[in-house]
Amino acid sequence: MFEFIEWILRFATDPLTIWTITLALSIFLFRRRNSKFRRSVLVAFLFFSILLSSPFALYVASRPLENFALNQFRFADASLRDHIPCSEYEGVIALGGVILNADFDEVTGIQLTAGAERVTEPVRLLKLCPEFRLVYTSFGKEIEDGVGESELARDLWVGLGVPKSKIIIENGSTNTRENAIETKKLLEVERKWLLVSSATHLKRAYATFTKAGVKVDPIAVDYIFSQRPPIWSFAPLSTIPGWQGVVHEYVGRIYYSLRDWT
């Protein structure tokens, strides 16, 4: 039941879904004259079109999330990570969602999407702290035939020189809360871990893992912007993935709070 509700929320709050609905309504109502509803729909369509095409608007929406990570978390600043006190941590937990496992083909190989730093940063941290273990936690229940994302991450890490004995995979979760709960079952020690995820996601991820009883210090990667874009910049379509991630995060925080998951 709750999985269906979550799916409806993701679909209904997706900016692209809203834009598509307003576009369809605008086309349907185009020939209706003197229609206040038609004008309202047209205004909404134009508003969403401008909003989704504005890097500056996306920057403004994403900054509270990313600034929280920078202001609150010890190693959100990448310049400090070369001096991580290795003895304080057991290893690194990486949150998935960046490997295209459903369409994996051995001919084309492993494909990474935006946010690939979630996979590469743990390897860099392992180079700094050779005693670390790496955990990859991801979805896998939807895939009945084929390989799960965590298995692909393990193969990629091994290919990058990580000993297989240092890798732990969790492949039975479909959201951040399940990531935390299922990962907790795999960990046998009470020491802290470093938690790698996108900067916009870290506030919710940190709260969720803490709630599940996993001690973590977050590592922020996958920042949307390195600097503020011009106010009048315009980039149709290219900003949509960023909007989808930011809106998903705000809705997810509200949903998790209502369900007392954080």
12: its two tokens? 């209904």
Q: Is pTM beyond 0.85 here?
A: yes
- Residue 205 near residue 256, CB atoms below 8 Å: no
Question: Which residues, other chains included, contact 145 with Cβ-Cβ below 8 Å and sequence gap of 6+?
Answer: none
Angle between the 55-72 and 240-258 helix axes, to the nearest 10 degrees?
Answer: 50
What is the distance in angstroms between the CA of the first residue and the CA of the last residue of the chain?
A: 20
pLDDT digits 0-9 by tens, 141-193: 555 566 889 999 999 999 999 999 999 999 888 899 999 999 999 997 778 99
pLDDT digits 0-9 by tens, 222-239: 999 989 999 999 998 789
Q: Which fold has domain 70-221?
A: Rossmann fold (3.40.50)
Q: Where in the chain is the domain with CATH 3.40.50.620?
A: 70-221
HEC profile of 97-126: CCECCCCCECCCECCECCCCHHHHHHHHHH
C-alpha–C-alpha distance, residues 210 and 198, integer Å? 17
Q: Rounded to whole angstroms, what are the CA distances from 249 to 61, 80, 156, 189, 215?
A: 11, 26, 27, 30, 22
